[in-house]
Structure 1
Amino acid sequence: MVGTVMMTDEGGDARSARGRRDSYHVGLDTGAVIDAAVELSRGAGLTAWSLRDLAERLGVAPSVIYHHVGGRELLSQHVVERVLALVGLPTRVMPWRQWFREALFPIRPVLAAYPGTARWMLLHGPVLTGLSPVIDAGIASLRRAGFGRNAALACSSLANMAVMTIAAADDRVLHEGDAPRDHAGLIRSLDAVAADSAGICEVSRDLLRQFTGSAQQIEAARDRYYRYVLERLMDGLEAWLESGMPD
């Protein structure tokens, strides 16, 4: 009888454990997995977590993540798609400089909030299916302006410059751990040799010092720099267009 009681208890424990495991799957679908991955990427970065971390957050085995979404690379793609969807990218044709301002200026703070997403885009290119109408509108805007067969080149130049600039700022935060402190250290190093170089003195005084101060001041400086880089690139493309775009 004792043996029978023990077997019953063990069977009950096994059923209870299965019930708990099964309950982890209730309400879990692809969207919920991606939601959790997006949240893990906020602030810490797209590469800061593993599938095991995500599975632990959801209370499931890593195999469940594979079942619902797939491997790490595919999940990263879904995260980037979800982050870009927060921007509201333009899908209508308009004057080309206006189009790129509306497309590229708003993405900087959004991508910066999820470090690593810009680098993922830089490495993988326009493989996101949701970007098709956006890219179509950008290319059409450039073609309407007269870029013709050079529209793709101009579009790629602007998009790459945007994500490279964002990715560089991400890398400083992710690898140094404290971007403002890193800038302060760089300024001190430059100041040590600035007396012998008017150019280095100007870089330290007029550029790098903008990226120190309060969080609000640093954010404003990053935005100014980002917009400046893109506007000057658009100036160059406009001059190239007006010159007849010689090879």
Structure 2
Amino acid sequence: MSKAPRRAYRTGLSRDVIVDAAVALTAERGIDGWSMRDLTGRLDTSLSVIYHHVGDRGRVCAAVVDKIYADMALPIEETDWRGQISGVLSPMIDHLARYPGVAAWLLRNGPQTEGLVPVMEAGVTRMIEAGWGDEAAEAYSVAFNTCLGLIALGDQPAGSGESGLTGLQRTIETHPQAGPGAERMRELAARFTGDAAAAARREYCRYALDRVLDGLEARLHALKTAGSAQR
């Protein structure tokens, strides 16, 4: 018996259904780990239907990122610039870990999705109001991109044996010049291996975010001091 041809459309198929399926594939395989053929197979539909409702793969991925951000319900009402940035980036550390590749996608493409525009607008506006002046956008992007970069790094498969963190630990343990400083690094590397590695990466991201914000606060103080001196 011959196999029935795939239907060109499916009753009830909509943009939301297509995007939800793409989000599910992203959670399973990462945003770069599935193709449009995978998506049509998941939905039992044709490529033309997806193009009609959403667009090409680039538009589908942008819609996936929008959906992921909408699910986070990121706050935009915080009046303090540091609280605004922390309130956005801290939950991202946990949430984006469930969707491999999304952080790297954002680093490559920037905040081009609709859901990110209000978040970006609120963050940079708070920076301007706090006195960052011409450096507002740069300072905001430093915090945003640092956090995204660490999340993206955590998405990468860890090396094994001599090429991974286990190899680094072994090198430190056997090196004749390894002392207290190297031992601290060995202890840090050990936290990123084993069953607790994912939690350790998220903790490290939060530590890095706090230190970046500390540095930005110091820079803002310097800007305000210089401004006062000029008056």
The question of a shared fold, defined as TM-score above 0.5 by the shorter chain, is answered with yes
Match among 171, 178, 184 for residue 197 of structure 1: 178
Helix, strand or coil: the match of 2:83? helix
Unaligned runs of 5+ in 2: 227-231
Helix, strand or coil: the match of 1:172? coil
Helix, strand or coil: the match of 1:109? helix
Residues of 1 paired with 2:73 and 2:24: CA distance?
19
Amino acid at match of 1:203: M
Residues of 2 paired with 1:57 and 1:28: CA distance?
12
CA deviations on 1:11-67 (whole Å, 9 max, x unpaired) are xx9xxx58x726x51011111111111001104201111111111111122232222
Helix, strand or coil: the match of 1:70? coil
Helix, strand or coil: the match of 1:94? coil
User: In 1, are the aligned partners of 2:131 and 2:220 still within 8 Å (CA)?
Assistant: yes
Helix, strand or coil: the match of 1:76? helix
1:188 maps to what in 2? 170
Match among 55, 58, 78 for residue 70 of structure 1: 55
Match among 10, 14, 39 for residue 29 of structure 1: 14
User: In 1, are the aligned partners of 2:132 and 2:223 still within 8 Å (CA)?
Assistant: no
Match among 119, 138, 141 for residue 126 of structure 2: 141
1:50 corresponds to 2:35: yes
Residues of 2 paired with 1:69 and 1:27: CA distance?
15
1:110 maps to what in 2? 95
Deviation at 1:94, TM superposition (A): 1.5
1:4 maps to what in 2? none
Deviation at 1:231, TM superposition (A): 0.9
Helix, strand or coil: the match of 1:203? helix
Helix, strand or coil: the match of 1:159? helix
User: In 1, are the aligned partners of 2:30 and 2:101 still within 8 Å (CA)?
Assistant: yes
User: In 1, are the aligned partners of 2:172 and 2:178 still within 8 Å (CA)?
Assistant: no
Residues of 2 paired with 1:62 and 1:231: CA distance?
44
1:132 maps to what in 2? 117
Count of aligned residue pairs for this structure pair: 222
Amino acid at match of 2:39: L
Helix, strand or coil: the match of 1:21? coil
User: In 1, are the aligned partners of 2:74 and 2:87 still within 8 Å (CA)?
Assistant: yes
1:165 maps to what in 2? 150
CA deviations on 1:61-120 (whole Å, 9 max, x unpaired) are 223222222111111111111111121112124111111111100001111110000001
1:208 corresponds to 2:189: yes
Deviation at 1:122, TM superposition (A): 0.5
Residues of 1 paired with 2:20 and 2:172: CA distance?
44
Residues of 1 paired with 2:164 and 2:48: CA distance?
40
Deviation at 1:182, TM superposition (A): 4.2
1:240 corresponds to 2:219: yes
Helix, strand or coil: the match of 1:100? helix
* CA-based RMSD: 2.5
User: In 1, are the aligned partners of 2:101 and 2:155 still within 8 Å (CA)?
Assistant: yes
* TM-score normalized by the length of structure 1: 0.81
User: In 2, are the aligned partners of 1:90 and 1:137 still within 8 Å (CA)?
Assistant: no
CA deviations on 1:106-144 (whole Å, 9 max, x unpaired) are 001111110000001001111112222211211121122
User: In 2, are the aligned partners of 1:93 and 1:140 still within 8 Å (CA)?
Assistant: no
* TM-score normalized by the length of structure 2: 0.86
Residues of 1 paired with 2:14 and 2:44: CA distance?
13
